Amino acid sequence: MKKLRYILMSNKVILSLISACLALNSFGQNEPVLVDEVIAVVGKNAIFKSDIDASVTQLQMQGAPKDFSTSCYVLQERLFEKLLVHKAEVDSVEVSDQEIDDAINRRMDYMLMSLGGSEKDFLKYYGKSVLQFKKEIRGTVADNILGQKVKGEITRSVTISPNEVMNYFNAIPGDSLP
């Protein structure tokens, strides 16, 4: 009987200690850390702050100014791209994996050539391997191809004559032209 009381008492003590540790742990949590932020949503497609920041950084590496206008430009381009992707989804426009792979390979060949053709130089410049970079840009490249297809469908049916262009520009007041 004493042994049974001892076991029950020790189980209560252990259970109390575990409960106290869990209670203290829940009060000791740090503030939540923001992992990423949704900047905009077009249809089912979200635009994340990290995507904007990555594009801005890439443009700045190519000589774009380090100011707010670059971020605005990137956001505008992403919004337009996502709008075209949404239109592609509505119209059931599809892109094959082969098209995506071909576009990625062309882009990588160009980037490697501009860096001297060495994957070591690419790794040093971008801080990631060619394979990692290909995986990262796959979604963006697919969206670009979808956007191009949708633009093509929209402009395919547009016909305009040189006479219509001249009439349009002649209708603009002279003080409104640059």
Answer for the pair 42, 82: CB distance below 8 angstroms, yes or no. yes
66-79 average pLDDT score: 88
Between 175 and 92, residue with greater pLDDT: 92
In the chain, % of residues over pLDDT 70: 80
Per-residue pLDDT band at 100 (split at 50, 70, 90): very high
pLDDT of the residue at 101: 95
Specify the residue for token string 């640059």.
Answer: 178
pLDDT of the residue at 57: 85
State how far the alpha carbon of 144 is from the alpha carbons of 17, 33, 100, in Å: 57, 32, 9
pLDDT at 144 over 60: yes
Measured distance CA(106)–CA(98) in Å, rounded: 12
Q: What is the pLDDT of residues 40-71, one digit of tens each?
A: 999 888 889 988 888 888 888 888 888 888 88
pLDDT of the residue at 104: 94
78-102 average pLDDT score: 92
pLDDT of the residue at 111: 85
75-89 average pLDDT score: 91
Token reading at 146: 């979808």
**What's the mean pLDDT when you consider all of the chain?**
82
Nearest to 51 by CA among 93, 82, 94: 82
Those residues whose C-beta lies under 8 Å from the C-beta of residue 87, and which sit 6 or more positions away, are: 93, 150
Per-residue pLDDT band at 8 (split at 50, 70, 90): very low
pLDDT of the residue at 61: 80
Between 10 and 118, residue with greater pLDDT: 118
Q: For the chain, what are the domain ranges?
A: 46-156
CATH of domain 46-156: 1.10.4030.10
Between 34 and 156, residue with greater pLDDT: 156
139-155 average pLDDT score: 91
Q: What is the pLDDT of residues 31-44, one digit of tens each?
A: 667 678 889 999 88
